[in-house]
């Protein structure tokens, strides 16, 4: 058995950061002014008027299959809709992303706002939308059909209300967010092609609840594992358990672990240490282990496998030799997580998020996630993922019975918050 301390350390390390940024008067004033403005009210009224079109576009886009590497048809439809929403210059880049620039009046750096075109579902999946009341059910309708439909509705509402933002906004329907796509669309946007080096803030509208702001890009898990035992003389105490044998067993078994190549998973034992002399059974050995994946699910799997290997290696050593002077224990200390980076809660755009949400009586819950925001975050560009609907309006993402609810009153309310976030961030100098 592992010590209780083992579990406590793991738990402490894995706690999700929940917090709020410091009060920021200028962000609060900006949020209050924008939400109270006639133009903002006109934009929300335009969404209200145009609500049927929002629902129809959501259904239409969802019913075009868009498996990883098969987003072309949905991308073409999205480009046409972006054009009809009022953006004149809609481009398809070399990777298949649909990009459209909405010029601003100047005074703030370029903001890109994306939703992803691809789904996790194979091309032959039945994506017909089934309606029951205001609930729409189809694979991909929430993740990320709703994000795409929101961006179209936002552009249309901004056009109708004549809203001019400080920053230019690059509206993006990107490819390759889900598993096998490995973030290829947003990676391309930031590292190749015409927009490389130009985008200074990034938002992806891709999430399950508008309380959650994913500002932290989860890419890897790192542990220091310390094996402890009673130690003893190499001759006199021979036959007693040894942390060296337990750790050696764990390293050998980790080395035999077969992990997926796509999405890629890696593991490494980077540092091994321990012992005090050649003629002593060590009382302590340690190793530093790194596990990585762009897929949080695969990362969780390899993490669980690794923890099982450590537990079994400890149990095997305690069974193989005498524990009369004490048994072997292993302590896992989390020494690294999400090295892909984090947008700090006190960065200007997240201070603005906090202030804007406050106007809507909401407090952001900061989340660690693997989304398109991983790419800019890893490049040091402030970025996060948000949802355009509240948590009770969509569920079952990545399953065949995925659904989203478009009841109008709630949809208008959710639209207001999401639009306010875009518009306020577009004003942050």
Query: For residue 226, which phi and psi values (nearest 5 degrees)?
Result: -110, 120
Site string for Zn ion, 78-97 (x = CB under 5 A): --------------------
Q: Which is nearer to Zn ion, 144 or 249 (CB)?
A: 144
Q: Which is nearer to Zn ion, 57 or 143 (CB)?
A: 143
Q: Which is nearer to Zn ion, 201 or 208 (CB)?
A: 208
Residue 367 in contact with Zn ion, rule: CB under 5 A = no
Q: Which is nearer to Zn ion, 144 or 405 (CB)?
A: 144
Burial class of 174 by CB neighbour count within 10 A (0 to 12, 13 to 18, 19+): buried
Residue 144 in contact with Zn ion, rule: CB under 5 A = yes
Residue 415 beta carbon to Zn ion: minimum distance, rounded to whole angstroms: 19
Residue 244 beta carbon to Zn ion: minimum distance, rounded to whole angstroms: 45
Residue 116 beta carbon to Zn ion: minimum distance, rounded to whole angstroms: 6
Q: The tokens 């200007």 sit on which residue?
A: 348
Residue 120 beta carbon to Zn ion: minimum distance, rounded to whole angstroms: 9
Residue 137 beta carbon to Zn ion: minimum distance, rounded to whole angstroms: 17
Degrees to nearest 5, angle at CA 396 with 393 and 397 = 95
Q: Which is nearer to Zn ion, 206 or 405 (CB)?
A: 206
Q: Which is nearer to Zn ion, 143 or 249 (CB)?
A: 143
Distance CA 405, CA 392 (A): 8
- Are the C-beta atoms of 354 and 21 separated by less than 8 Å? yes
Helix ranges (DSSP H) in 266-365? 296-320, 348-359
Q: Name the segment binding Zn ion (CB under 5 A); options: 29-37, 206-214, 314-322, 334-342.
A: 206-214
Of 330, 304, 302, the C-alpha closest to 6 is 330
Residues 253-292 that bind Zn ion (CB under 5 A): none
Residues 104-143 that bind Zn ion (CB under 5 A): 143
Residue 178 beta carbon to Zn ion: minimum distance, rounded to whole angstroms: 7
Distance CA 255, CA 380 (A): 33
Q: Which is nearer to Zn ion, 109 or 180 (CB)?
A: 180
Q: Name the segment binding Zn ion (CB under 5 A); options: 202-210, 223-231, 295-303, 377-385.
A: 202-210
Residue 177 beta carbon to Zn ion: minimum distance, rounded to whole angstroms: 5
Q: Which is nearer to Zn ion, 66 or 342 (CB)?
A: 66
Distance CA 249, CA 315 (A): 11
Degrees to nearest 5, angle at CA 214 with 30 and 57 = 80
Residue 402 in contact with Zn ion, rule: CB under 5 A = no
Q: Which residues contact 264 (CB under 8 A, 6 or more apart)?
A: 182, 292, 293, 294
CB atoms within 10 A of CB 335: 14
Q: Name the segment binding Zn ion (CB under 5 A); options: 3-11, 201-209, 211-219, 251-259.
A: 201-209
| Interface residue with Zn ion, options 50, 57, 206, 427 (CB under 5 A) | 206
Q: Which helix (H) or strand (E) holds 83?
A: helix 72-85
The per-residue b/e assignment along 177-214, b for 16 or more CB within 10 angstroms, e otherwise, is bbbebbbbbbbbbbeeeebeeebbbbbbbbbbbbbbbb
CB atoms within 10 A of CB 7: 12
Q: Which is nearer to Zn ion, 345 or 386 (CB)?
A: 386
Residue 388 beta carbon to Zn ion: minimum distance, rounded to whole angstroms: 12
Binding site for Zn ion (CB under 5 A): 143-144, 206
């Amino acid at each position: 058995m592992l010590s209780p301390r083992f579990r406590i350390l793991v738990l402490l390390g894995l706690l999700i950061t929940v917090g709020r940024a410091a009060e920021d008067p200028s962000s609060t004033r900006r949020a209050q002014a924008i939400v109270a403005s006639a133009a903002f009210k006109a934009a929300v009224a335009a969404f209200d008027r145009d609500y049927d079109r929002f629902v129809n576009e959501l259904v239409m886009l969802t019913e075009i299959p868009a498996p990883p590497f098969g987003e072309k048809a949905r991308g073409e439809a999205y480009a046409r809709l972006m054009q009809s929403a009022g953006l004149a210059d809609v481009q398809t880049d070399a990777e298949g992303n649909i990009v459209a620039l909405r010029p601003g009046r100047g005074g703030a750096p370029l903001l890109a706002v994306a939703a992803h075109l691809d789904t996790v579902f194979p091309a032959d999946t039945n994506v017909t939308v089934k309606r029951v009341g205001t609930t729409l059910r189809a694979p991909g309708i929430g993740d990320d059909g709703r994000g795409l439909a929101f961006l179209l509705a936002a552009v249309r509402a901004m056009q109708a209300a004549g809203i001019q933002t400080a920053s230019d906004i690059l509206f993006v329907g990107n490819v390759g967010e889900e598993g096998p796509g490995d973030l290829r669309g947003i990676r391309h946007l930031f590292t190749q092609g015409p927009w490389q080096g130009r985008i200074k803030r990034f938002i992806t509208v891709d999430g399950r609840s508008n309380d959650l702001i994913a500002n932290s890009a989860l890419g890897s898990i790192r542990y220091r594992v310390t094996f402890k035992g009673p130690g003893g003389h190499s001759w006199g105490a021979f036959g007693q358990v040894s942390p060296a044998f337990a750790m050696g067993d764990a390293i050998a078994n980790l080395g035999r672990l077969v992990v997926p190549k796509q999405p890629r998973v890696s593991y490494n034992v980077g540092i091994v240490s321990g012992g005090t002399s050649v003629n002593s059974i060590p009382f302590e050995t340690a190793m530093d282990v790194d596990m990585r994946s762009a897929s949080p699910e695969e990362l969780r799997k390899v993490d669980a496998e690794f923890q099982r290997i450590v537990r079994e290696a400890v149990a095997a050593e305690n069974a193989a030799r005498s524990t009369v002077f004490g048994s072997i224990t292993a302590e896992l200390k989390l020494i690294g997580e999400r090295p892909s980076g984090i947008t700090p809660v006190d960065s200007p755009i997240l201070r603005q998020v906090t202030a804007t949400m406050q106007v809507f009586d909401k407090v952001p819950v900061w989340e660690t996630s693997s989304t398109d925001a991983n790419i800019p975050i890893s490049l040091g560009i402030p970025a996060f993922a948000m949802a355009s609907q509240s948590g009770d309006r969509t569920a079952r993402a990545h399953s065949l019975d995925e659904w989203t609810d478009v009841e109008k009153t709630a949809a208008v309310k959710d639209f207001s918050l999401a639009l306010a976030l875009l518009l306020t961030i577009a004003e942050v100098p």
